Every structure is written in C-alpha cells, then in structure tokens.
Amino acid sequence: MQRKDLKRLTIKDVARTAGVSIATVSRILNGQGGVSEELIDKVQLTVQELNYQPNAVARALKVQESRSIGLIIPDIGNPFFPALVRGVEDAAQVHGYALILCNTDGDPDKEINYIKFLRSKQVDGILLVGNIGFEQSGHWLSDAAVPIVLVDRRIAGAPLSTVIVDNQAGAVLAVEHLIRQGRRQIAIVSGRPASPTNTERVNGYIQALAANRLFCRTDLVVNGDFTFEGGYRAAEILLNRGCRFDAIFAANDLMAIGVIECLAQNGRRVPDDVAVAGFDNIRLAAWYKPALTTINQPVYEMGQLAVAALLEHMADSGAQARDIMLKPELIIRQSSGGKEQS
C-alpha cells in the first residue's frame, strides 16, 4: 500500500499517459500558449490524476535558476533574528523562493564557508548578516557571482546593497529622550567596539550630547559586548569609578537589562536614581520589570525589504548598490521614568 520507493514520476509519464509529447506537457505546465484547448484539458487532467509535480532540481539545472535564496545570520537563538527570518521567509515564499537558513555564530570563517556552500547549491541570491571584514574577504563578497545583500550590519567598504536601521538616529532618539527626562549625566554602555553597529550607536550618543551642549565625559563611557553579562560588568565598572550619573544608555536591550540588574543589586533604583534606555526592543523589553525604554527596529520589514532588494539585484546584475535605511522608533517605558511631560 505505501510504496515509498515508488519511482517518482516525470514529465515523461505524464506525456505517455496523456498520449502527447513531453514538449506539449512542458508548454502547458508553463502556460506558454500555442496549444489546443483540447490538449490543455487532457494534460491538466492527467497531471491531476497522477498527482504529478515537476522536478525543481531538473528545472533549476536547465534554466540556471534554483529559486532559492540563502540567509546567513549569526544565531537564530538571538532574540533579534526570528522576526527578521520571518520577514525574509514570508517575502521569499510569496515569490516562490525557498529559504535556506545558516547560523554562523558570528564567525567569519563560517560565513565564508556558508557562502561557498550556498554558491554550490546554486542559490539565486544571498542575504548576509555578516561580521566579516571586507578586505578579509572582499574577493568572495564582491566576486561571489551571486548577488549578496547585507542586512542589519554593514560591512565597511563592501560595494553591496545594505538594508539597515539608522542606528545613529536611533541612539539620538534614546539619548535626547533621557535628556528631556531631565537627566544630564548620561553614561553609555557600548557594544563590541569593533562592530560598525556599535560605532553608529555611540556616534548617536555623542551627537545627542553635543546637540544639547553636554560634554561626552570619558569616565561615563564603558565598553560592553552586547551580552547581558557584559552589561552587568559594565555597570559594575561604572559604579566602581565612583563618578556620578543619573542615566545610562545601553547599546542594546540585553546589556540594558544587565545594567539594571546590577544597579538593583547595588541599591540604585531605576528609574528614580538612574534612568536606563536600551536598543532593539526585543520581546523581553516589554515584559521586564521595570519595562524597558528602548529603540524599536522594524525588523520584520527589514527582512521583507532585504528580499525585495535582493530580487532587484537578481533581476538586474548591473543594479547599483544602495543603502536602505529604516527609521528607528522610540518606545518609552518605565525604565526611563515613563511618559515625557511636555
């Protein structure tokens, strides 16, 4: 009854059963026209009856187009990525593309290996959330012979289209909010210093301070690494320095939460003593107590737009690389003292 090893049927079988040539079947299946109504009906019927499905691999080999794209991210376990992946998958599916998912843990070697892997799989395009440097592998990135679009993180010097949120503007939003809340001694807990994303956010911090005639005091700057523990340790360092501060901007939410936990351990109240703002608006930010003021990124849309950009490059190999910047949004919650009074 359940013959799994039943040989998969091919266009040949359909042709034979319907009593026509494979050329005719192919034409009908691809809706090319130039076929009589009669045959169309007959063939479509047998396709139904046999439950025939074209072999996409054979088709891919023939038309040199696999109808699949690759998505390379650091780690789907990172709460930032599921929404991105969902946006990508939905958009890909709409256009009939399969999505191949790859996790690199941010390791540049793995990124290169996955690009090679995807290339051998003949994917039509690649979406990359990359940590690799351009010189480190500019060869692969620009000569990959397959369109690559960068998502969420730029790669300095790479001549590739990039879909990204305006990190600097987001940081400005967060810091200016803290300032409007009456805070003046605003510290920053940065992410990994090497990360372009971090640099942009730090620049936003500096810009916002300057725009409000506040100094950027080096004793209020401390490096984290985008992790909870990094945030915790950074807050400890800040406390140990003995300098005054009445607000902290953390370069992402995970660190912001680490910061708050540390402050709580040390008897500082949030937001009464110290206002805290993060970046990313991960799910946890809304649930955490105190609920975290943060910068929302339209992650799902980012995924969708990335696919759109990739499709463009796939359709036109001469298309210019361009930056697509998404607007961040300030989400005000308790950790910064709640609503602004204006």
Residue 36 touches which of a copy of itself, DNA, none (Cβ within 5-8 Å per kind): DNA
Nearer residue to a copy of itself within complex by CB, 7 or 213: 7
Half-sphere CA count of 149, side-chain side, radius 13 A: 33
Could you tell me which of 182, 204, 178, 207 has the C-alpha nearest to residue 191? 204
Of 202-261, which residues contact a copy of itself (CB under 8 A)? 257
Among 55, 212, 265, 266, binds a copy of itself (CB under 8 A): 55
Closest separation between CB of residue 40 and DNA, Å? Answer: 8
Q: Are 222 and 238 in contact (CB under 8 A)?
A: yes
Any contact of residue 145 with a copy of itself (CB under 8 A)?
Answer: yes
Is residue 36 near DNA by the rule CB under 7 A?
A: yes
Least distance CB 21 / DNA (angstroms): 3
Cβ 101 to a copy of itself shortest distance, Å: 5
Question: Which of 193, 226, 204, 188 is closest to 79 using CA atoms?
Answer: 226
Stretch that binds DNA, among 32-40, 102-110, 220-228, 276-284 (CB under 7 A): 32-40
Which of 34, 218, 287, 320 touches a copy of itself by CB under 8 A? 287
Helix (H, G, I), strand (E, B) or coil at 335: helix
Q: Tokens 């805070």 correspond to what residue?
A: 183
How many CB atoms are closer than 10 A to CB 77?
Answer: 9
Starting from the edge strand earliest in sequence, which strands make up the sheet with 221-223, in order?
221-223, 186-190, 247-250, 275-277
Residue 4 interacts with DNA (CB under 7 A)? no
Scanning residues 25 to 54, which ones bind a copy of itself (CB under 8 A)? 53-54
Question: How many Cα atoms are found within 13 Å in the side-chain-facing hemisphere of 81?
Answer: 20
11 near DNA (CB under 7 A) = yes
How many other CB atoms are there within 10 angstroms of residue 155's CB atom?
Answer: 21
- Choices 4-12, 166-174, 237-245, 326-334; region in contact with a copy of itself by CB under 8 A: 4-12
Beta-carbon count within 10 A of 236 CB: 17
In the complex, the residues that contact DNA under the rule CB under 7 A are 7-8, 10-12, 19-24, 26-27, 29-30, 32, 34-36, 38-39, 54-55, 58-59, 61-64
